[in-house]
Amino acid sequence: MERHVRNALNAFLKKIPNSKFVPYMKGEAGTPDITGSIKGRSVWIETKTETGGKVSLKQKASHIEWRRAGALVIVTSDTATVKAELIKNNLI
């Protein structure tokens, strides 16, 4: 269930110093589920079910736009992927 993934991610994200994350509830179709910032870098997280789930064409287009604007966009079904991407980008 995607909600389970989001709940686990929110618990993990709350523990990161100098960061702020919130669910993104309104906006354009395709906008990632969680938005936030770490050390001044915009981070957008698209959650999928634990079995994977597919990224829609609108989501792919939105992710491209956010990346062009300098955001880190992560598509994930688990906390480990988010942690690995944040480490890779020197955010934690």
CB environment 38-64: b (16+ within 10 A), e (fewer): beeeebbbbbbeeeeeeeeeebeebbe
Residue type, 23: P
- Going by pLDDT thresholds of 50, 70 and 90, the confidence category of residue 5 is confident
For 32-87, the pLDDT digits (tens) are 889 999 999 999 999 988 777 889 999 999 999 999 999 999 999 999 999 999 99
CATH number, domain 2-88, options 3.40.50.11740, 3.90.380.10, 3.40.1350.10, 3.30.70.100: 3.40.1350.10
